[in-house]
Amino acid sequence: MSTATILFFAMLLDAAMGEPKWLWNRVPHPAVLMGRAVGYMDRSLNRDRGSILLGALALAVLITGAYLLGLGLSQLGGIVQIIVTAILLAQRSLTQHVGAVADGLRVSLGEGRRAVAMIVSRDTDAMDPSAVSRSAIESAAENLSDGVIAPAFWFLVGGLPALMVYKIINTADSMIAYRTPQYERFGKAAAYADDAMNLIPARLTCFLIALPSGVIRKMADIARDANRHRSPNAGWPEAAMSRAINVALAGPRAYDGKMQDFAWVGPEGARTIGPPAIDAAIRQLWQAWGFMLGLVFLLALFG
């Protein structure tokens, strides 16, 4: 089977099965194992606030291990590659987690806050319904890129070895790439590597949201807002999502008890929003996924 054919069936399997709890309650999820590997390197090398060099060394070891594992798995045949790739995609689980926020808000504000706290790192205790909804939608857009489109892109580029390398870099970025005394230097290599690996996928995700939703004609505005975002990549899918469902995203929010004055993404959009806006974002997730699936099908057919 071609790489595109494998990815096509993996995307369908992920969309159908998601993350079966009966399986991951019995064996560790690969993402958990990657997290343990990153944690081990952190404990082993990040001493006395670490250094940029030791952080780069840790990342190099993790990348080498991930690449070799992907190379080994790729020798086991197409079926194994389909299953492993499906496990490392997150379309269905993403829509379920984001949908849980809308369901929680329909019950109470407290339930909405508890649900959104599962998918964002910012302070949620003082959020109003609009802030909860914005947080869920931003997470939806960013994780469509990080959890679905980027893994699919790198699998197309280099098969399972490239996909495994992307996932370990993304895991390291989420665990050690913080601007704190402990990780400012040690996590720098992971942060830069993650930015580089997501450079194309983030913009591809923007396109996959903007084209089928009909807001591709607003690309100048989308690019403007994306370039104002604190992240070099996350702003692109967020800006496209903002225009696609006509809501304002980002803006001021609290981290560790401190308010931070981030720029608005799509400032012309609605700022008082609730569960219907989250539902609209979920529809955009599936629409973008379907468009990507169609592109992969064409690659499988003619590539």
Tens-digit pLDDT profile for residues 135-167: 999 999 999 999 999 999 999 999 999 999 999
pLDDT at 98 over 90: yes
pLDDT of residue 251: 79
How much is the average pLDDT of 113-131?
89
Share of the chain above pLDDT 90, in %: 79
pLDDT of residue 21: 78
pLDDT at 231 over 90: no
How much is the average pLDDT of 266-275?
93
Contacts (Cβ under 8 Å, ≥6 apart) of 18: 92, 93, 96
Using alpha carbons only, give the angle 174, 175, 178 rounded to the nearest 5 degrees: 85
Q: What is the band of 257 on the pLDDT scale with cuts at 50, 70, 90?
A: low
What is the Cα–Cα distance from 224 to 22, expressed in whole angstroms? 45
pLDDT of residue 179: 81
pLDDT at 255 over 70: no
Distance in angstroms between the alpha carbons of the first and the last residue of the chain: 12
Residue of higher predicted confidence among 252 and 89: 89
Q: Are 201 and 149 in contact (CB under 8 A)?
A: yes
Phi, psi of 234 (to 5 degrees): -60, -25
The neighbour count for residue 80, using CB atoms within 10 Å, is: 14
pLDDT at 229 over 90: no
Residue whose pair of structure tokens reads 């004609």 in the numeric block: 217
Residue whose pair of structure tokens reads 């496990």 in the numeric block: 87
pLDDT at 58 over 90: yes
pTM here is 0.93
Spell out where the chain has E strands.
249-250, 253-255, 258-260, 264-265
pLDDT at 254 over 70: no
pLDDT at 253 over 90: no
Q: Is the dihedral of CA 143, 148, 151, 154 positive or negative?
A: negative
